[in-house]
Chains A and B, each alone.
Chain A
């Protein structure tokens, strides 16, 4: 599998302000790629460059290995963070117009729209004006507008913000289905739960610079820090807690287990092998839980951002 998108050494200035500084990312085909970063980091600038809304000052973009060209807009579907449609235009007419702008013919557009309207259960809304629709309905229309031209690359900027939980779930499932059907998805978000749940690759942009990129599992591997969650059943919890070797830096945590268990997290020092540490814990009581704490995307995000000031 090749790469759906490569951004190579992208630089973008707005006057004195540098929005993107030498940013390169590689999005493998068929991946769900999370573009993370605090507000104002440059995510939207990068997305706008990919969408050819603005041009980079330096660097270039490859789409499926080809230099990005105007005709490629038909291969990209984009749902901006700031969403909106024409309020006083009829839903069907509006969708056809936007589909035609993406290069579909009128007949093609009608066919696909019928499919999607039925699929998302809004087929009765074709002749309504957008302003008559509830917010949830409008969001569905917005989603359809993004995907109807069957692009190979879908870009969602904060896809779940503003969606109610029902719709958010529906959209999530639809997005994953599109991925299964062969599309590549780029997510821009700062909501880490959805990243954890859906992304297999991530990039972290901070203050206009790319600070982290790669396969999520590999990044997590990198960020493994020999942290373990432990549960013990002891006669005296307080006493047992004091007996945990201080070099393990025990921190009490809450684990969902039996009542009266002693739950804590430790960091096993590098010089102590894990089985040895385990042995030492076994002496303190009945061990009911011992598992490695894999860093969450949130942890990685915060840690990386802090590292880079």
Chain B
């Protein structure tokens, strides 16, 4: 046991003192913040330059009045031009687009948008809505209906989202859950790949250094394997914690001194603005607070360790089976495949229906369960026994996989200069 501790300590210190580790740990958050700031800055200059959009209204209803120039869009009213002439003029002036409101028999007939770009759905819908709303109003007026009456009698109730316990949520809540689940799942995958690779490289290093024989003449290979995986995982957790702390501090500093709201992204900004009244903002914060944060954190840690140990065992076996890193390629697919599958199932099936058959099944399969279950958890209502079964399956399979990996490891580390293939590995399992 003392020796296991020694190995864990050495592996940990070796990883943590490594120059690459130090650089990665402290430079990554800086890069992350820099990128966030860059995006924030780019977004702000992006909206500085207004798009020029021509408007040709062939009706008498004065729809052009609907299009007021703002920060984003500058509207140029074309008058008395034919359709063809307007298109040609817009093209020549290199306008972003042309809104064409055609009339037939003094009535609104067709509305079209000409552009070489692909305008966003939201932008097109807003044009549509503006014109349709005005046209409807005009029609109603023509029919002698008092608009004020309609306005007064129009009912526009918003659907209040609540869960069965009566807790109110905002419509944002789905997005928040997706973001929380997606971030957790993605982080887990990255961690497994980065640190799994690290363990594998360290196994290969010991093999190519030939120190392995000295070590295994002092300790059992299984201790070395467990020590290596554990030491490396502790280094990973250290790095992760440093990132969280440093990233948080940097974000705080950046937002305070530079005045750029790096936390908001353009997609959310609109929604945020719409949700101006405090009650909605409160609901969003309430949503975040309503996420099963403690449950998520605990599960994150348990799945983190479980998923990492499972994959790290496989990585260790691969490292032991080869002589150098380039030889690992042929064994990589079975490692990467379930991880990718889990992420895709997470982003498509779980987001679509967290309780669907696919989502549930994949949250039980040990190779995918850490990621898929983590992505399911923010949606709540995952019974504790579901999580318990999934974790139990995961940890039981870790034991199984670790035993198999140890068998391969035990033999592989003492095999030099032999190209290993799947058949060979199977043979080793039976020694």
Across the interface, A15 reaches (CB within 8 A) one of B6, B220, B431, namely: B431
The answer to whether residues A15 and B427 also contact, given A80-B214, A82-B210, A82-B416 and a CB cut-off of 8 A, is yes
Interface status of A258 (Cβ within 8 A of chain B):
no
Nearest chain B residue, comparing its CB with the CB of A145: B214
Across the interface, B216 reaches (CB within 8 A) one of A15, A53, A97, namely: A53
Residues in A whose Cβ lies below 8 Å from that of B214: 78, 80, 84-85, 98, 145
Is the pair A84, B10 in contact by a Cβ cutoff of 8 Å? no
Is the pair B213, A101 in contact by a Cβ cutoff of 8 Å? no
A97 to B217, CA, bound (A): 14
Among B387-431, those with CB < 8 Å from A are 414, 416, 427, 430-431
Among B214-233, those with CB < 8 Å from A are 214-220
A82 to B3, CA, bound (A): 23
Among B169-213, those with CB < 8 Å from A are 206, 208-211, 213
Interface status of B59 (Cβ within 8 A of chain A):
no
Nearest chain A residue, comparing its CB with the CB of B410: A54
Is the pair A83, B217 in contact by a Cβ cutoff of 8 Å? no
B14 to chain A, nearest CB (A): 7
Q: Chain A interface secondary structure, helix, strand, loop or mixed?
A: loop
Residues in B whose Cβ lies below 8 Å from that of A145: 214
The answer to whether residues A82 and B6 also contact, given A15-B427, A101-B219 and a CB cut-off of 8 A, is no
Residues in B whose Cβ lies below 8 Å from that of A98: 214-215, 218
Residues of A in contact (CB 8 Å), total 26
The answer to whether residues A52 and B217 also contact, given A15-B431, A82-B416 and a CB cut-off of 8 A, is yes
Across the interface, A80 reaches (CB within 8 A) one of B3, B14, B208, B210, namely: B210
Residues in B whose Cβ lies below 8 Å from that of A85: 209, 211, 214
Across the interface, A48 reaches (CB within 8 A) one of B18, B210, B414, namely: B414
Is the pair A14, B6 in contact by a Cβ cutoff of 8 Å? no
A140 to chain B, nearest CB (A): 15
Interface status of A89 (Cβ within 8 A of chain B):
yes
Across the interface, B414 reaches (CB within 8 A) one of A52, A53, A86, namely: A53
A229 to B216, CA, bound (A): 50
Interface status of A87 (Cβ within 8 A of chain B):
yes
Residues in B whose Cβ lies below 8 Å from that of A73: 217-218
B422 to chain A, nearest CB (A): 15
A52, A53, A83, most chain B CB atoms within 10 A: A53
A51 to B211, CA, bound (A): 15
Is the pair A53, B217 in contact by a Cβ cutoff of 8 Å? yes
A54 to B415, CA, bound (A): 13
Nearest chain A residue, comparing its CB with the CB of B427: A15
Residues in B whose Cβ lies below 8 Å from that of A101: 3, 6-7, 215, 218-219
Residues in A whose Cβ lies below 8 Å from that of B416: 82
A76 to B216, CA, bound (A): 13
Is the pair A102, B218 in contact by a Cβ cutoff of 8 Å? yes
Among A82-107, those with CB < 8 Å from B are 82-89, 97-98, 100-102
B425 to chain A, nearest CB (A): 13
A102 to B18, CA, bound (A): 26
- Residues 358-381 of chain B, each 1 if its beta carbon lies under 8 Å from chain A, else 0: 000000000000000000000000
Is the pair A78, B217 in contact by a Cβ cutoff of 8 Å? yes
- Residues 98-125 of chain A, each 1 if its beta carbon lies under 8 Å from chain B, else 0: 1011100000000000000000000000
Is the pair A83, B210 in contact by a Cβ cutoff of 8 Å? yes
B208, B215, B217, most chain A CB atoms within 10 A: B217
A84 to B416, CA, bound (A): 14
B108 to chain A, nearest CB (A): 76
Nearest chain B residue, comparing its CB with the CB of A100: B6
A53 to B217, CA, bound (A): 6
A141 to chain B, nearest CB (A): 11
Nearest chain B residue, comparing its CB with the CB of A155: B217
B239 to chain A, nearest CB (A): 19
Is the pair B210, A84 in contact by a Cβ cutoff of 8 Å? yes
Is the pair B209, A86 in contact by a Cβ cutoff of 8 Å? yes
A86 to B217, CA, bound (A): 16
Among B1-33, those with CB < 8 Å from A are 3, 6-7, 10, 14, 18
A14, A48, A100, A101, most chain B CB atoms within 10 A: A101
Is the pair B213, A82 in contact by a Cβ cutoff of 8 Å? yes
Residues in A whose Cβ lies below 8 Å from that of B431: 14-15
B56 to chain A, nearest CB (A): 72
A87 to B208, CA, bound (A): 10
Nearest chain A residue, comparing its CB with the CB of B415: A14
B428 to chain A, nearest CB (A): 9
A101 to B427, CA, bound (A): 31
Among A150-168, those with CB < 8 Å from B are none
A15 to B6, CA, bound (A): 34
The answer to whether residues A86 and B218 also contact, given A15-B427, A15-B431, A101-B3 and a CB cut-off of 8 A, is no
A83 to B14, CA, bound (A): 21
Residues in A whose Cβ lies below 8 Å from that of B427: 15
B226 to chain A, nearest CB (A): 14
A73 to B414, CA, bound (A): 18
Nearest chain B residue, comparing its CB with the CB of A73: B218
- Residues 47-75 of chain A, each 1 if its beta carbon lies under 8 Å from chain B, else 0: 01001111000000000000000100100
A88 to B430, CA, bound (A): 35
Across the interface, B209 reaches (CB within 8 A) one of A48, A84, A100, namely: A84
Residues in A whose Cβ lies below 8 Å from that of B7: 101
B198 to chain A, nearest CB (A): 14
A89 to B15, CA, bound (A): 11
A296 to chain B, nearest CB (A): 31
A145 to B210, CA, bound (A): 14
Given contacts A73-B218, A84-B208, A98-B214, 20 further A-B contacts (CB under 8 A): A15-B427, A15-B431, A53-B213, A53-B414, A73-B217, A78-B214, A80-B210, A83-B210, A84-B214, A85-B211, A85-B214, A86-B211, A88-B18, A89-B14, A98-B215, A98-B218, A101-B215, A101-B218, A101-B219, A145-B214
Closest 10 CB pairs of A and B: A84-B210, A101-B218, A80-B213, A84-B209, A82-B210, A51-B217, A78-B217, A84-B211, A53-B216, A85-B211
Mind listing 20 A-B residue pairs with CB under 8 Å? A15-B430, A48-B414, A53-B217, A78-B213, A80-B210, A80-B213, A80-B217, A82-B213, A84-B210, A84-B211, A85-B209, A86-B14, A86-B209, A88-B14, A97-B10, A98-B214, A101-B7, A101-B218, A101-B219, A102-B218
Interface positions of B (Cβ within 8 A of A): 3, 6-7, 10, 14, 18, 206, 208-211, 213-220, 414, 416, 427, 430-431
